[in-house]
Structure 1
Amino acid sequence: MQPPYASVDTEPPPRPAAGADPRAVLAAFPGPALWLGADRALAAANAAAERLLDEDPHWLDEVRSWLGGASVAPGLRSTPVEAARGVMIVEWAASPLPDGTTLLFGRDATLERQLRQTLSESRRRYKDLVEVSSDFAWETGADGRFVFVTPKGALGYEAEALIGRDPRELAVEEWGDLPLPFDTRRPVDQSELWLKRADGAAACVVASALPLYGADGQWGGARGVCRDVTEQVVRAAELARVRNREKMLGHLVHTLRNRLDAAEALGVAATETARALGADGCRILRVGEAGAPLPVTDFAGEIPAELEHAALGETLARVMAAPEPVVATLGGNRLLACRTEHQRAVNGAVLVWRGDDADPWDDEDAQLIAGVADHIGIVHAHLAYQERLHRLSERDGLTGLFNRRTFFERLEEQLGRPDTGPSSLLYVDLDNFKAVNDLHGHQQGDQVLKAIGTLLTTGVRPGDLPGRLGGDEFVLWLGRTDADRARAVADRLLAGVAELRHLSAGPDKPLGLSIGIAVHWPGRGETVQELTARADAAMYAAKARGKGSYTVAADHAAVPETAP
C-alpha cells in the first residue's frame, strides 16, 4: 500500500490517454491526485488525496483559486498542507481534459523545499561569518592568482586590489618553487607564513586551504582562509623574551646571593651580564667615597682605550645623571650603560659594549641591563657595608688608627719580612689625660684622643703602622727606621702635643707624651711580645723621669738611653 504522502519524481505526471477513465488514472498515481469537474467541484480523489483533505480541507480552496485565476495552462503550484506530521508542501501539476474537467497530480516537495531553504540559509550564514570574521577567505584560479577575496579585503588591501594578483608577491621571504597555501596541491592545515601588509609591514598569518580539481582531474586553484596572528606571535615573542630576561636575572640573583664576598659576586655578575647581552665586555663601576666613579671589576679580554675610566668623561656623567639606560658610540664601540642605585642614591654604573659592526642595542637589551643594574646597586651597597665592617673590625672607632688586634697582626707580618735594616717601635702614653676627663668630661677627652690620632698619622709613610692599644696608650711602628730617625719622630710628636696644651686640665697638669722607643734588628729572633715589652718599659722609664720625654730602650741589660 502506497504511503499517503509519497513523493514522485520531478518528471511531469502522465497525461491520461484519450478515453481513459479518470478514476483509474487517479488510483494508479502513487501520490495524491484529484479530479475536478468543469465547475472545479471535487469529482474524485484517490486515497492519498482523501487523507490530505481529512487532515486539512482548506488547501483545496487555494488550488481552486489558482485554477480559476489561470488564463492559460496553469503549470505547477505549491500548497502548504497542515498534516499530522506538521506542515508539508505539496506541489500540484494540473492536466486539463477535453471535457473541461481537470486532473491534479501532487508530490511531496517538503524535503526539497527544506533543503533549498537550508542551503540558502547556510550560504547566508557563511557569508555573514566571512564578513564579520577576523579571518579572510580567498580563492585562487588555475593561474595561481586571486579570483576571490573576502569583500572587506585583507592585510590593509581592498578586495579589488587583490583580485588578479599573484599571492607570491605578498610573501615576505623568497619561496622559490616551494608551494604556498595559495597554490597547494594537497590540503593544508594551520600553515604559518609571513606576508606583507599594504603599508609594507610584515604580518604573520596561519592559513588552511584545500586544492580545487576539475572533473578532468586538472588542478584549478585553491580555496582557503587566513588568520592574522601577528599580535599573538609578537606577544608570544615578547613573553619569551621576558621569561628569558627573568631567567637570566634569576640566575644572576641566585649567584649574587650565594657569594659572600661582594667583590667576587660583582666579577661573576660582569661575566654573566656580558654573556647574556652578547657583549664584547662588561665594566662595573662604583661611586667612591669622594663621589667619583671607581672601577670595581671588569669582564673583557682587553678594555678598549675609549672605555678606560679616564676616557669616559662626559659619557659617564650622562649615564650617572640619566634614570634610564643610555646608548652611545665611543670610538669603534657601541656602548650601553645604566646607573646603579640603592635606596634612591646613585652608587655606580654598569657598562657593556659591542663593536660598531655588531647589531645595535634594542629595547630588550636596555630592559635587561636595567634589571641587572637594579641588583648591582644592591651589591654595591653590600660591598660598601662589607668594607665598613672591615674598617670597623680593624680600626679604632674614635681615632681611625689600627686597633690593638689589627696592629699586632700587622706588626707580626712586619717582623716576618726579610728586612736587613733596623725598624723602630714607639710606645706612646698620654700624660695627665685622666685629669682632662675628670675636669672637662669625656667629650673633651675624646677630642684629645682624636688630636693624638691625627698627630700620629701626620707624616707617616705607607709602610708605617699607627695604632691605639686602648685608653690613652698609642703605638707607632716605623719601618726601616734606626734610632736617630726614631728620635726625630719622637721630637716631632712632643712638639705637636705642645700645641694641644689648651686642651689640658690646667697649667699644673699639662697634656704631654711619654714615649718609649725600641729598635728592632731583623734576624735576632725577637718576638712581638718581647719588642713591645722593651718599648713599654722604655715608656715607663720616660714617665718616671718626669713625663714629656722619650727613652730609647737598650738591648738586653744595657742601660736605657734617655733624652736630655
Structure 2
Amino acid sequence: MANSSATIQTDWIQNASFPVALLDQTFQVRIKSESAHLICASIHLPALQSIFDKVIQHQAPALQTINLQTDTGHVYFDLTVTPCEDGFLIFAKDSSLDHNLRAALMDSRQRFKDLVEISSDFAWEVGASGEFIFVSQRGAVGYEPEELIQKQSDDIVLKRDKKQSLNPFMSKSKLEREEVWVLRPDGEPACLLVSCVPLFDENNIWIGARGVCRDITDERERDAALARAYHRDQLLAYIVKTIRDEVDPSNMLSAAANATARALSANGCQIFRRQGNSSLIKDASFGDIPQDIDDLFERLNDIHENEVGLFETENWIAIYSATRYRRTINGAICLWREKIRGGWNDDDQILAIDVANQLGIANEQISGHERIVELSRTDALTGLLNRRAFFEEELPRHIDRLKFNKSPAALIYVDLDHFKQVNDAFGHQKGDDVLIMLRDFLLHHIRPGDVAARLGGDEFALWLDDIDLDAAKTRCQGIIESSVFLKEYSGTSEKPLGVSVGLALFDPHSGETIEELISRADAAMYKAKRAGRGNFRTADPFVTPASTGQGD
C-alpha cells in the first residue's frame, strides 16, 4: 500500500458495535466485528469488488451503497472502504430503514401524481389479490368507501355468459377511458369510465393497480338512444356503400356485422350464408357467442322466406331474419343482446329485415366470387387442385409451416402407365372415367391435411405432411400394390394400365427450393418408368454445393 496509508490498531475492531472489518491485501478477512458477517460473506460480490477497485486506483477512501439479498429480504448498507498499510478497512452502516422510508415516500408521491393526472369522480386502488385497499371518500356507484374496502373487484364487475367480463381494476397494462359495466348495490347496472395504471414490484411482479373512475351510465343511455336513432337512418346506406366499395367480400360482411350490432345496441351479430343446397355456414361474426343460443343457429337452417323472429333464453334475447336474393333464401342474420339491456322493439325488427335484404345481395356476390376462385384453383374434371394452385399456393404454405415446425414431408408424383392405349381403344370418355377412378383411389391413400392435385393429363401429385422417409416409402408401396385393379381397364393386354410413382422427401433444414424438390420428384417418377413401370423410386437426397448424397 501507499506510504500515506495508516497502520490500523486491530484491538477495537472485534468489539465494535457496528459492522467493521479489516482485510489483507488479498481481500481475506483478518478480523471483523460480530455484526460484519454479512458484509464479509459478500466480499467477492461484484458490487464490493468495484469499491476495492476504486480504492486501489485512487489510493483514497471510497463510499458506496450496496444492496444484499438475505433470507428475510434485501438489506442496504452504506459502505466506506479505506486503504491502510495492513490492507483495507471497511465500515458499514445499515441504511435499510432510510431506503425503505424513501421508497415509501416516493411511492406515496407517485400515487398522488397518478391520481392527479387522471383525476375524475372517485379514486381507487386494488391489491395483488384484487381486493380494494383504497377508495376515495366520494365512494362509487352507490357504494360507500367502507363498503368497497376489502371487497373483491370481481364482485362488482358485471357477469356475462357465466364468465367475468373485462375487469380493468386488475389490469396488467395502462388503461385510459376504458368502459366497464358494474353492478350497483341495488343490482342495477352502471357504466364506469376507467383510467388506471398497473403496479409492479422490483421483480416486475404485478401487485395491484390504481386509478380513477367516472360514472357515465346516464351519458351512455342518452348516447345509445341517439345512436340508435341516427344509425337506423344511416345503416342501410353504409352497408350498401360497403358492398359497393369493399374489394374483399369477407371484410365487407365483417364490417356489416360490426355496424349492425352497434347500431342496434347488440352484444353480437352473426351473418350466415347458404352454399348451394347445403346448410347455413357462418360467414361473419361480431362479439362473443353465448352458449345458450346454440339452439337458435340450428333453427336457422329451417328459416322461411320473409321470416323475422325472436329467440329468448334465460339471459339473452336474439332477433333473426332470412336473407334473400331473387326471392330465394341464401342466408340469415342474427343479433343478440342481454335481457338486462332491453328487448327488441318493432323498429328493430323492421330494420333487421331491411338489413337482411341488403345482405342477401352481398351473400350472392360472395358465392359468385367463390365459384370464380374455385374454378381458377381446381381441375375441371377431377375437382383436385390444379398445377398452379398446388405449386404456387399450397406447397409454399405447407413448406413455411414445416420450416417452422422442423418436420419433414413427402412429394409424390403419380403417373398412369399406358394411359394412351385406354383412350385409343375406348375413347376419351373412358379415359376420363379412369382419371376420376384414380382420383378417388389417391384420395383414399392420403390423410386429412394432405394435398392431392392433378398436374395435367394423367399426371398427379400428392403432398404428405409430417412424414419420414420410411413411412413415405410404405405409403408409395401401398399405392403400387393397391393399383392392380387398374389392369382391368387396360387398352391392350400387352400394355396393362398401372401407375409409376416417384418419391422425393423434403427436409426443412436443407434449404431446397420448391423447384428443386419438384425436379427430384419428377426425376424419380421417370426413373420408375425406365425401370419397367408399375413400381416406385425414391429421389436422391437433395445435395447442396457443400455436401454429397446417395440415392436408394
* CA offsets 1:455-504 (integer angstroms, 9 cap, x no match): 22224234422222111111112223233222221122223332233332
Q: Relative to 1, partners in 2 of residues 1:549 and 1:351: Cα closer, same or farther, differing over 3 Å? A: same
Deviations 1:190-227 (A, max 9, x none): xxxxxxxxxxxxxxxxxxxxxxxxxxxxxxxxxxxxxx
Give the CA deviation at 1:548: 0.8
Q: 1:477-488 maps to which residues of 2 (within 5 A)? A: 477-488=463-474
Task: Specify the alignment match of 1:491 in structure 2.
Answer: 477
Does the alignment pair 1:412 with 2:392? Answer: no
Tell whether the 8 Å contact from 1:394 to 1:405 is kept in structure 2 after alignment: yes
> Shift of residue 311 of structure 1?
2.9
Q: Secondary structure at the match of 1:321?
A: coil
Determine which of 214, 239, 248 is the counterpart of 1:261. Answer: 248
Most deviating of 354-363 and 341-350? 354-363
Paired residue type of 2:529? K
Out of 499, 518, 531, the position equivalent to 2:517 is 531
Judging changes above 3 Å, is the alpha-carbon distance between structure 1 residues 326 and 426 closer, same or farther for their aligned structure 2 residues? same
Q: Which residue of 2 aligns with 1:332?
A: 315
Residue type of the partner of 1:281? G
Q: Quick one: which of 283, 287, 295 aligns to 1:311?
A: 295
- In 2: Cα distance, 1:244 partner to 1:524 partner: 57
What is the CA distance between 1:245 and its match in structure 2?
Answer: 5.2
1:544 to 516, 530, 533: 530
- Name the SS for the 1:507 alignment partner: coil
Maintained 8 Å contact 2:272/2:284: yes
Question: Counterparts of 1:488 and 1:298 in 2: how far apart (Å)?
Answer: 44
CA contact (8 A) 1:440 1:505 kept: yes
Distance 1:292 1:542, change over 3 A: same
TM-score normalised to structure 1 length? 0.52
The structure-2 alpha-carbon separation of the partners of 1:366 and 1:394, relative to structure 1 and needing over 3 Å to count, comes to same
* 1: CA distance, partners of 2:513 / 2:404: 14
Report 1:156-555 matches (<5 A): 247-288=234-275, 291-300=278-287, 302-307=288-293, 310-312=294-296, 315-317=299-301, 320-321=303-304, 323-409=306-392, 410-416=394-400, 417-555=403-541
CA drift of 1:268 comes to 1.0
Query: Which letter does structure 1 place at the counterpart of 2:255?
Result: V
In 2, the alpha carbon distance for the partners of 1:379 and 1:534 equals 46
Q: Report deviation, 1:350.
A: 0.7
Q: Secondary structure at the match of 1:396?
A: coil
CA distance in 1, matches of 2:347, 2:411: 61
What does residue 50 of structure 1 align with?
A: none
Paired AA for residue 485 in structure 2: E
Relative to 1, partners in 2 of residues 1:514 and 1:279: Cα closer, same or farther, differing over 3 Å?
A: same
Supply the distance in 2 between the matched residues of 1:522 and 1:314 (Cα, whole angstroms).
Answer: 44
Distance 1:422 1:333 in 2: 49
User: How many angstroms apart in 2 are the aligned matches of 1:313 and 1:541?
Assistant: 55
Structure 1 pair 465/358, CA: closer, same or farther in 2 (3 Å)?
Answer: closer
Larger radius of gyration: 1
Structure 2: where are the runs of 5+ without partners? Answer: 1-227
Question: What is the CA–CA distance in structure 1 between the aligned matches of 2:467 and 2:533, rounded to whole Å?
Answer: 24
Q: State the AA in 2 paired with 1:456.
A: L
Using the alignment, how far apart are the partners of 1:494 and 1:390 within structure 2?
34
The one-character-per-residue Cα deviations of 1:148-179 (angstroms, maximum 9, x if unpaired) are xxxxxxxxxxxxxxxxxxxxxxxxxxxxxxxx
Q: Distance in 2 between matches of 1:299 and 1:559?
A: 56
Query: Aligned AA for 1:270?
Result: A
1:305 and 1:311 in contact (8 A); partners too: no
The answer on whether the counterparts of 2:267 and 2:336 sit within 8 Å (CA) in structure 1 is yes
Paired AA for residue 411 in structure 1: L
Contact 1:497–1:511, Cα closer than 8 Å, also in 2: no
Q: 1-side partners of 2:445 and 2:346: how far apart?
A: 54
d(CA) in 2 for partners of 1:424, 1:303: 40
**Who is 1:4 aligned against?**
none
| CA pair 421-351 structure 1, distance change in 2 beyond 3 A | closer
CA displacement at 1:516 relative to structure 2:
1.3
Cα shift at 1:514: 0.9
Q: How many residues align?
A: 317
Deviation string 1:88-147 (CA, Å, 9 cap, x unpaired) is xxxxxxxxxxxxxxxxxxxxxxxxxxxxxxxxxxxxxxxxxxxxxxxxxxxxxxxxxxxx
Q: Deviations over 1:178-197 (max 9, x none)?
A: xxxxxxxxxxxxxxxxxxxx
CA gap of 1:338–1:422, structure 2 versus 1, over 3 A, is closer
- The 3 A distance-change label for structure 1 pair 419 and 367 is closer
Structure 1 248/479 Cα, relative in aligned 2: closer, same or farther at 3 Å?
Answer: closer
Distance change (3 Å), C-alpha of 1:471 and 1:278? same
Q: Which residue of the partner structure matches residue 193 of structure 2?
A: none
| C-alpha displacement of 1:258 | 0.9
Q: Which amino acid aligns with 2:474?
A: A
Contact 1:431 1:511 (C-alpha < 8 Å) held by counterparts: yes
Q: Aligned equivalents of 2:257 and 2:496: distance in 1?
A: 58
The residue correspondences of 1:36-55 to structure 2 (distance < 5 A) are: none
Do the aligned partners of residues 342 and 508 (structure 1) sit closer, same or farther apart at CA in structure 2, a change above 3 Å counting?
A: farther
SS where residue 337 of structure 2 aligns?
strand
In 2, distance between residues paired with 1:525 and 1:359? Answer: 61
TM-superposed CA distance for 1:253, in Å, is 0.5
1:349-403, Cα deviation, whole Å (9 max, x unpaired): 1112233344443332222111111111121222222222222222222222221
When residues 490 and 313 of structure 1 are mapped into structure 2, their CA distance, relative to the original with a 3 A threshold, is same
Structure 2 CA distance, aligned partners of 1:513 and 1:448? 12
Deviation at 1:246, TM superposition (A): 6.0
Distance in 1 (alpha carbons) for counterparts of 2:317 and 2:342: 9
- The one-letter amino acid paired with 1:381 is E
* Contact map agreement 1:535 1:553 (CA 8 A) in 2: yes
Range with greater deviation from structure 2 (455-464 or 366-375):
455-464
Cα separation, 2, equivalents of 1:480 and 1:429: 23
Aligned partners of 1:388, 1:473: CA distance in 2, in Å? Answer: 25
- The Cα shift of 1:419 comes to 4.7
Aligned AA for 2:479?
L
Report the CA distance between 1:522 and its aligned residue. 2.7
Superposed, which structure 2 residues align to 1:86-101 within 5 Å?
A: none
Q: Distance in 1 between matches of 2:231 and 2:453?
A: 53
> What's the % identity of the aligned pairs?
38
For the residues of structure 2 that align with 1:248 and 1:479, how far apart are their CA atoms? 46
Counterpart CA distance in 1 for 2:407 and 2:257 is 45
